[in-house]
Structure 1
Amino acid sequence: MRRFFAKTRASAALLAVAAAAAGAVPALSDDSPSRTSSTTISISAPLRWWMIQRMNLVPHELAFPSLGGLSLINHSVASATPPTDFNEEVSGSKGDDSRCCPGCLGRNSIAVAAEAAASAVVNISVTQSINGMMIAKGIGSGTIIDPDGTILTCAHVVLDFLNQRSITTGKVEVTLRDGRKFDGVVVNADFHSDIAVVKITSKTPLAAAKLGLSKRLRPGDWVVALGCPLSLQNTITAGIVSSVDRKSSDLGLLGVEREYLQTDCAINQGNSGGPLVNLDGEVIGINIMKVANADGLSFAVPIDSAAKIMEQFKKNGRVVRPWLGVKLLDLTEKNITHLKEKDGSFPDVRNGVLVVVVTPGSPADQAGFSPGDIIIEFNGKLVGSIKEIIDVMGDKVGTPFTVLVKRANNKLVSLRVTPAEMKPDR
């Protein structure tokens, strides 16, 4: 009997400790009008079941109606049978895919994200012929971004196979997820950014995907790639973001400097132009390419960049790019240290953009730029990357900009440069 009461006291003590840990112990002063206050506490399923089992050992006449002002509410209603899966209640991995926190990966997160965008994903087939004879056929994917039938895709999906810098004059066929086929018209295409817009006409509004913000992505975020690789429609793959700012120069691509999202999603021929979506089903990238003979090295155009291209399509009918005629390099702490070791007169800077090459006769050459100059301000704004300079210029061709550069021995020079429009052959 003494052992039984010892167990009873231990159970009562445990109840008091559990309630106190939940922050449910009320403070009672001596002048309180009543000492029979009631407080509801939240206890996890495994602990609740264990406590109920212990309470069943206490005779009814010895059951404590109150423990330091605490009383168990509806404890007798709880089942004495333990839940079949404690992890289900604790982790939130129920059939309704409830998440423990925003952005967490639930049991059905990938499926839900894919389904949110899948209806807007299309297959694009381009056929070119001469004198009725088919000479080439290309396949790709696209995303309906407006119920009126506006489709976002890659420029190389709709290019002219005979003239790589022109839009196809052949037949563009668009197949929807439900199998319906439409004739498409290429509205605009920009081969530098590899972004194009195709339009189809439907008598009824079409399902459109929601555009997100790629600037919110972080390495390690889950993403889903949708498209029609090898003409296999409605194909879904998933992975994570490997890098949010992989530069085109890192990939050996020449010309205009671009940035890509790197992922480990599996994409193949035919995926180009298809959407990369986040766990909310929002389009945050356009799948564009993969590294040949390599697994887990796929790339997408950030949707923020694609949105700027589309804005220029609407505003100018084409993409207008200012051209200065310089080759630039982002300065980092590492290469600043290296340059200082090589040249003692190298300016004292913590960041900036280094002018590496100046094209003879270019706007930069006419403005007085020299190799070795470090751009620290562009039009009054402190800059530490090439991207920031591009953002300041926007599409302003013929507009003069004031640039502050720092030269050897910390000499500051103010220059004024007027960008020209970049030509396709530059």
Structure 2
Amino acid sequence: MALSGMLVVALIAGGAGGVAGALFNNASSEEAAPEEEGPVMNEPPPEAPQRDPDTIAGVAQRVSPSVVYIGSADPSVPGGGSGFVIEGNYVVTNDHVSSALADGGIRIEYQNGSLSEATIVGADPSSDLAVLSLADPIDVEPLAFGDSEAVVVGDEVIAIGAPLGLQGTVTQGIISAVDRPVSPEGSSASRFYALQTDAAINPGNSGGPLVDLQGRVIGVNSMIYTMGGSMGEGTGSIGLGFAIPSAEVQSVVDQLIENESTAYADIGVELDLQSPVAGAVIADGSDAVADGGPADDAGLEPGDVITSFDGRAVNSGQELLAMLRDRAPGDEVDIVFERDGDEDTSTITLGSSTD
């Protein structure tokens, strides 16, 4: 369903270059556009039938060894998800995967059956991302991040993970939409602009990579939209899956590894996320606008409705929160807001979520 400009979707933690030159007419030379060098990937198993590296099967052979299943070290603890190895033998996954397993201890399983205990380096519930450190890593190639901002609708993608605990599952599809604002159900719901895909994603795919045809990670599979089932009773893939774009993933992961925490742009207000009014409604109450915060300095008051942010229409409070994820503390942004039926404008200097 659509909710005030945002999709409310279900989390999917599982239960069980070189440069080429060319000479023309022997008189002049012209440098061709640089070709982007492909990522270093795993060699396919020697016993497996070989496939060209630029095919779906070829990419799957070379990426899958670096995709892991994440479960509990305690066999009595249900649930699990997926993750993937990056530089430094860290594993990237969803926060909703790692947080559900943390109390019983986390264990990862590689595709070849090797096991390693894992600890949480840092987690960020607002972006639904976490980074794990492995006690006994094995030698697999770290997956490289691609440029999610260069992705267009129709690009082919591959999802790899462990839906329902079925490790090494590979599905293929396309990018169905970009910049799709999503908000999973729950009190600590993350809100961001996602890549939408029709590649089959099911419970257990959470935290696994969405890769392009060069094997680069362009997103982290996080959520699906289901019909006929409530949260926790997912009915499975209906072709509406959502991945956290790699541009955001890289930024969050770097912060988690360096600082074990993250900081985001903030405007210093409490939003009424349940309001049916079009726009981002600042909640009523004397403490809805933080004294001396960015919104206070910009002249905003409780009850104001922000309708435009940096030239983009704002349809809901959730959408404004997603827009803030694309900005950095200290950015100056023009806003349009309504107060008592009158429209006004202001410039706001964004603060930090850590302030």
Q: 1:140 aligns with which of 62, 81, 92?
A: 81
Q: 1:315 to 1:328 in 2, by over 3 A?
A: farther
Task: Give RMSD over aligned pairs.
Answer: 3.5
Question: Quick check: 1:158 aligned with 2:86?
Answer: no
Distance 2:223 2:190 in 1: 17
Distance 2:343 2:171 in 1: 54
Q: 1:407 to 1:287 in 2, by over 3 A?
A: closer
Structure with higher Rg: it is 1
1:160 is displaced (CA, Å) by 3.8
Q: Which runs of 5+ in 1 are unaligned?
A: 1-94, 99-107, 129-133, 162-167, 330-338, 340-353
TM-score (ref. length: structure 1):
0.56
Question: Residue type matched to 1:358 in 2?
Answer: I
Deviations 1:337-392, CA, capped at 9 Å, x for gaps: xx9xxxxxxxxxxxxxx963224232324641152455565xxxx66675665444
1:308 is displaced (CA, Å) by 1.1
TM-score (ref. length: structure 2):
0.66
SS at match of 2:171: strand
More strand by share: 2
Distance 1:313 1:403 in 2: 30
Question: Residue type matched to 1:284 in 2?
Answer: I
Q: 1:413 to 1:155 in 2, by over 3 A?
A: closer
Identity of paired residues, percent?
A: 30
1:328 touches 1:355 (CA, 8 Å); kept in 2? Answer: no
Deviations 1:155-180, CA, capped at 9 Å, x for gaps: 1111146xxxxxx1322111111111
Question: Quick check: 1:295 aligned with 2:295?
Answer: no
Distance 1:327 1:310 in 2: 27
Q: 1:361 aligns with which of 262, 284, 289?
A: 289
Q: Partner residue of 1:115? A: 61
Q: Partner residue of 2:353? A: 421
Deviations 1:78-110, CA, capped at 9 Å, x for gaps: xxxxxxxxxxxxxxxxx9859xxxxxxxxx711
Distance 2:137 2:323 in 1: 43
1:113 is displaced (CA, Å) by 1.8
Distance 1:361 1:212 in 2: 39
1:358 touches 1:365 (CA, 8 Å); kept in 2? Answer: no
Question: Residue type matched to 1:149 in 2?
Answer: N
Q: 1:412 to 1:210 in 2, by over 3 A?
A: same
Aligned length: 276
Question: Quick check: 1:176 aligned with 2:110?
Answer: yes
Q: 1:169 to 1:355 in 2, by over 3 A?
A: same
Question: Quick check: 1:188 aligned with 2:122?
Answer: yes
Q: Which runs of 5+ in 2 are unaligned?
A: 1-49, 227-234, 315-319
Q: 1:264 to 1:253 in 2, by over 3 A?
A: farther
Q: 1:410 to 1:319 in 2, by over 3 A?
A: same
After TM superposition, the runs of 4+ consecutive aligned structure 1 residues lying more than 4 A away are: 95-98, 251-256, 326-329, 372-377, 382-390, 399-418
2:175 touches 2:196 (CA, 8 Å); kept in 1? Answer: yes
More helix by share: 1
Q: Partner residue of 1:72? A: none
Q: Partner residue of 2:252? A: 309
Distance 2:59 2:255 in 1: 29
